[in-house]
């Protein structure tokens, strides 16, 4: 997410300078590749770049091809086949063994600009969205590479495909992606030809709510912002919840634990971490957060202490449901042997990332499936 935010920022700077820029996007992969569909790279007019579409082996060739795109103002899709035995011949000497389809398109005065604006809108407004990008047209079918259909969370649609039959088929797949929260590649076959589109589910940055503004919250907030997450820090002590302690966070709130239901927006895709080190405050926070729609809830401290908190809640007449308990992570974080605030922050963020990605964490060497992306990609 941080990479996408950097690309959008760079695009805004290019736009203000009225310079020409080109956007390269991975739209389809097969086999083992370093990046997955949705990875992007912005190429400025002077050839400098923001973002990456490979481990560094394809970028130079894509930058070279971007010159043609800048001149013709016509998008192209380039296929890099790293499985082919002659892959060394064109100078890449790649370590991957897959196939990558990369859409290279001009941004200025094109739908690519609308697409980046759409992603920026989803990020800024903390809203979900889906974009469909046509990257292959074979035969005589009337469609253009680089045209798109965009669907917002509220169901509103914008598109420049201008083919009612194709638009209707793509819209149906976009709405499915909005429900399933999964990206994918779809092929549409007609008598006149074949069209392929990348259906990209766009989720906003993970909203991380940190309750407690002590020293251990500082690296947690800083690392989360490095990942591009939306970070809110809440504490009842004004002397702790300060810009000096948390210069990069998106929001600092001074509120007591019993006030958070009114003070904080608790969204279904949010992650919340309790770091107050205060039993009574944790009790109040759990009473509000367990029934809330937050996706992930972590509590610092041993499981025995959390058991005592849950027992106390039971005395208050509140027993969490099985579904609510499933969201509760205590002790919070992955077991990486962390002791310092920075190491603990790393373990917490790694666990949240694994949880929201539907992964069980663990060593990659012990994992037999795809190491990133969806198994349905490509």
Phi, psi of 251 (to 5 degrees): -150, 140
Maximum Cα–Cα distance across the chain: 72
Mean pLDDT, range 126-135, rounded to an integer? 94
Mean pLDDT (the chain, rounded): 89
DSSP state of 204: P
Q: Do residues 261 and 255 lie in contact, with contact meaning Cβ atoms separated by under 8 Å? A: no
pLDDT of residue 241 exceeding 50:
yes
Q: Do residues 213 and 235 lie in contact, with contact meaning Cβ atoms separated by under 8 Å? A: yes
Q: How far apart are CA 245 and CA 242, in angstroms?
A: 5
For the CA atoms of 45, 10, 222, 360, the dihedral, rounded to the nearest 10 degrees, stands at -80
DSSP state of 87: T
- 29-58 pLDDT, tens digit per residue, is 988 777 889 999 999 999 999 999 987 788
Classify residue 306 as left (phi > 0), alpha (psi -120 to 50) or beta. alpha
- Distance (Å) of CA 25 to CA 35, 38, 190: 10, 6, 26
pTM: 0.81
| DSSP-assigned beta bridge partners for residue 100 | 29, 80
Residue 262's pLDDT band (cuts 50, 70, 90): confident
- Distance (Å) of CA 128 to CA 43, 149, 202: 26, 15, 6
Q: Do residues 166 and 189 lie in contact, with contact meaning Cβ atoms separated by under 8 Å? A: no
pLDDT of residue 298 exceeding 70:
yes
- Token pair recorded at residue 293: 């729609």
The CATH class given to the 207-356 domain equals alpha beta
Which pLDDT does position 374 carry in this prediction?
A: 45
SS3 101: strand
**Start and end residues for every CATH 3.40.50.720 domain found in the chain:** 207-356
Q: How far apart are CA 372 and CA 339, in angstroms?
A: 28
Q: Do residues 198 and 135 lie in contact, with contact meaning Cβ atoms separated by under 8 Å? A: yes
> Which secondary structure element, helix H or strand E, spans residue 134, and what is its range?
strand 129-139
Instruction: Report CA Rg, the chain.
Output: 23
| DSSP-assigned beta bridge partners for residue 129 | 152, 202
């Amino acid at each position: 997410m941080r990479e996408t935010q950097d690309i959008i920022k760079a695009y805004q700077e290019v736009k203000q300078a009225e310079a020409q820029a080109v956007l390269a996007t991975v739209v389809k992969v097969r086999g083992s590749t370093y990046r997955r569909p949705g990875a992007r790279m912005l190429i400025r007019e002077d050839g400098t770049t923001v973002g990456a579409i490979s481990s560094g082996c394809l970028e130079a060739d894509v930058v070279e091809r971007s010159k043609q795109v800048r001149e013709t103002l016509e998008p192209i899709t380039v296929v890099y086949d790293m499985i082919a035995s002659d892959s060394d011949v064109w100078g890449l000497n790649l370590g991957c063994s897959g196939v990558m389809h990369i859409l290279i398109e001009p941004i200025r005065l094109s739908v690519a600009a609308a697409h980046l604006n759409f992603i920026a809108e989803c990020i800024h407004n903390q809203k979900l969205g889906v974009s469909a990008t046509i990257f292959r047209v074979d035969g005589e079918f009337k469609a253009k590479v680089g045209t798109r259909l965009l669907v917002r969370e509220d169901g509103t649609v914008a598109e420049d495909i201008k083919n009612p039959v194709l638009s209707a088929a793509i819209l149906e797949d976009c709405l499915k992606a909005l429900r399933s929260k999964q990206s994918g590649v779809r092929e549409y076959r007609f008598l006149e030809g074949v069209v392929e589109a990348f259906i990209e589910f766009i989720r906003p940055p993970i909203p991380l709510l940190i309750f407690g503004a002590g020293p251990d919250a500082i690296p947690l907030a800083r690392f989360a912002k490095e990942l591009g997450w939306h970070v809110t820090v809440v504490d009842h002590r004004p002397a702790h919840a300060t810009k000096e302690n948390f210069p990069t966070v998106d929001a600092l709130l001074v509120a007591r634990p019993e006030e958070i239901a009114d003070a904080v927006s608790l969204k279904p895709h949010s992650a919340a971490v309790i770091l107050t080190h205060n039993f009574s405050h944790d009790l109040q926070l759990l009473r509000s957060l367990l029934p809330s729609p937050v996706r992930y809830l972590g509590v610092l401290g041993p499981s025995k202490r959390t058991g005592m908190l849950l027992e106390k809640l039971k005395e208050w007449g509140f027993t969490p449901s099985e579904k609510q308990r499933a969201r509760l992570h205590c002790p919070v974080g992955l077991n990486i042997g962390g002791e310092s605030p920075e190491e603990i922050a790393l373990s917490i963020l790694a666990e949240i990332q694994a949880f929201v990605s539907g992964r069980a964490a663990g060593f990659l060497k012990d994992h037999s499936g795809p190491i990133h992306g969806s198994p349905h990609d490509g």
